[in-house]
Amino acid sequence: MKYVIVLFALFTSTLPAAERPNIVFILADDLGIGDTKCYGGDRCLIDTPNIDALAAGGLRFTDAHASASVCGPTRRAIMTGRYEWRFGASTHPGPWGFCGPRPGTEKSTLGKVFKRSGYQTGYVGKWHLGTIMPTLDGKTQGPENVDYSQPLIHGPVQFGFDQSFILPGSLDMYPYAFARNNLWQGEITARKGWSAFNRIGPAEKDFEDHKVLETFYTEAESYIARQSAKEPFFLFLALTGPHTPISPGVKWKGKSKLGVYGDFVMEVDHSVERVMNALQKQGLDHSTLVLFSSDHGAACYAGNILKATPGQIHLLEEKGHFPSGPHRGFKFSVYEGGLRVPLIAHWPGVIEAGRTSNALVGLNDLMATFAELSGAVLGPDEAPDSTSFASVLRDPQASVPRQQLIMQSATECFVLRDGAWKLCLCPGSGADDQWLIEPLMTASWKKALADFGNQPGREDFKKAPFVQLFNLAEDVHEDHNLTDAHPDRVAAMVAMLERSIAGGRSTPGPTLQNDKNVVLHQRLPQFVRAGMRQPQ
């Protein structure tokens, strides 16, 4: 009989409807922590009054992080509460917005957890979690063979969202077309491309890049307008800005003294205003928790030059605007500028206005947090890397629920936080050289090999000179590598990481299996692999 009771609990909420808040999660794309006034202060030259108002009326986290400094892995971790590197390779792999899903990413999702707690679920915006599209020839989806007259086989509907309106990938990733509830919208008969990378591919005939952000916050307004106080709802609004192409709407061009990059960030800020106004109009503002964040830090190739230009973000810094705030690095890197993100929570009557929290939080923690707030009971194999910070929402001084957090760079270099300590399992920025993020990866590995002075084996890559250790409490800019001074701490943190990998989870619970074999150094440069000492 107890098994029936447990099964029933898993599929119902443990909280009465009156105690379950509506939840709106707004996720910006490539927004640096220094791109908002409430985080950047005098080093931010962009006006962000609505994001600032959200923070002034709620709780601002100062130590929140993406799971990776690139969007796909972070979005999978948000959606599942599981680190992306535990999943296997994508099925139906295609270029850009044609990428397929990773097996298991739809098994336990935010949408499904909310639905079993009695929530209405909506997703609007950038998807980038993989789709399966019907094709004209029965082969893997790609730019030339998708049958747009047929609905997506796999998309937001399969992830547990009652209503959805998505762009399959980023704004500079074809196909440039929307899908509503898995049904393609309009006539996808054109070929278009945009300023940043000029990726030319299939597009809906009327699709324009500068209209997309407004389309999404207008869709969010419509979704909120259909809700009532009778049953709670969850809305995931995934914005496409300020990710390239830098494409502010016509009404926003010339608004910022910083230039077109600032214009686009200002429209992102306006998205928050539109959501808050919609909630107020519907009488739902006092019963709704609104969270705002970004999928990782600012892109080094973004700025006022519309063509993606590696390193051009330094031109903004020369003007006095610092997208990474006081931190080092950008999108793709192992440094805080790529991984530390804004996270703001606004919940009238529950969260006291004007509070801050230094709790260590990962966006992968949203699954457990939302489950607790909605009354959902997570199964033993669900959200294995998610720790609820619901207690911090109610009391910013509550004991910090998380001590360790695992992250990655775009080249899959592992990063581990343990309190204020941060370990990076690579000798440089962890980003490909083409992005010009210092110190460059190739030069850093060559220097580390020279400093090592011998033929390294795989175990050698777990210590100096192949790793970096920082104390963020004393070195926020990550200038001082302390690996030589603290070899025991390096070894202990490597052991923590290896235990998490081997156990299939980083939270308490039964041992689980990763979907693939996970090793610490998954993408060593070829010249490093060629010179490795082979095991005896």
Average pLDDT over residues 220-247: 97
Q: Which of 407, 371, 408 is nearest to 387 (CA)?
A: 371
Task: Return the residue matching tokens 């205003």.
Answer: 273
Q: What is the pLDDT of residue 435?
A: 97
- In the chain the first and final C-alpha atoms are separated, in Å, by 55
Q: What is the pLDDT of residue 531?
A: 85
Q: What does the buried/exposed string (b/e) look like for 262-273 if buried means 16 or more CB atoms within 10 Å of the residue's CB? A: bbbbbbbbbbbe
Percent of the chain with pLDDT over 70: 96
CA distance 37 to 219: 27
Residue 10 above 50 pLDDT?
A: no
User: For residue 16, what pLDDT band results from cuts at 50, 70 and 90?
Assistant: low
Q: Determine how many CB atoms are found less than 10 A away from the CB of residue 451.
A: 11
Task: Give per-residue pLDDT as tens, 461-516.
Answer: 999 999 999 999 999 999 999 999 999 999 999 999 999 999 999 999 999 999 99
Task: Give per-residue pLDDT as tens, 196-216.
Answer: 999 999 999 999 999 999 999
Top-level class of domain 406-530: alpha beta
Residue 400 above 90 pLDDT?
A: no
Average pLDDT over residues 365-393: 97
User: For residue 12, what pLDDT band results from cuts at 50, 70 and 90?
Assistant: low
Q: What is the pLDDT of residue 19?
A: 80
Q: E strands along 301-442, which residues?
A: 340-346, 355-357, 361-362, 404-408, 414-418, 421-424
User: For residue 399, what pLDDT band results from cuts at 50, 70 and 90?
Assistant: confident
Task: Give per-residue pLDDT as tens, 141-158.
Answer: 999 999 999 999 999 999
Q: What is the pLDDT of residue 335?
A: 98
DSSP 475: -
Q: What is the pLDDT of residue 108?
A: 98
Q: What is the pLDDT of residue 434?
A: 97
Task: Give per-residue pLDDT as tens, 80-123.
Answer: 999 999 999 999 989 999 999 999 999 999 999 999 999 999 99
Q: E strands along 85-133, which residues?
A: 120-126
Average pLDDT over residues 175-189: 98
Task: Give per-residue pLDDT as tens, 43-76.
Answer: 999 999 999 999 999 999 999 999 999 999 999 9
CA distance 130 to 132: 7
Q: Which of 451, 466, 454, 452 is nearest to 520 (CA)?
A: 466
Q: What is the pLDDT of residue 532?
A: 85
Cα 358 to the center of its chain, rounded Å: 19
User: For residue 13, what pLDDT band results from cuts at 50, 70 and 90?
Assistant: low
Name the token pair of 207. 């699709």
Task: Return the residue matching tokens 């939270």.
Answer: 507
Q: What is the CATH number of domain 19-402?
A: 3.40.720.10
Residue 372 above 80 pLDDT?
A: yes
Residue 1 above 60 pLDDT?
A: no
- Domains of the chain by residue range: 19-402, 406-530
Residue 9 above 50 pLDDT?
A: no
User: For residue 4, what pLDDT band results from cuts at 50, 70 and 90?
Assistant: very low
Q: Which of 53, 46, 40, 56 is nearest to 266 (CA)?
A: 46
Arithmetic mean of pLDDT over the chain: 95
Average pLDDT over residues 390-414: 94
More confident residue, 5 or 528: 528
Task: Return the residue matching tokens 């994508």.
Answer: 90
Q: What is the pLDDT of residue 311?
A: 97
Cα 9 to the center of its chain, rounded Å: 30
Amino acid of residue 465: P
Q: Is 221 helix (H, G, I), strand (E, B) or coil?
A: helix
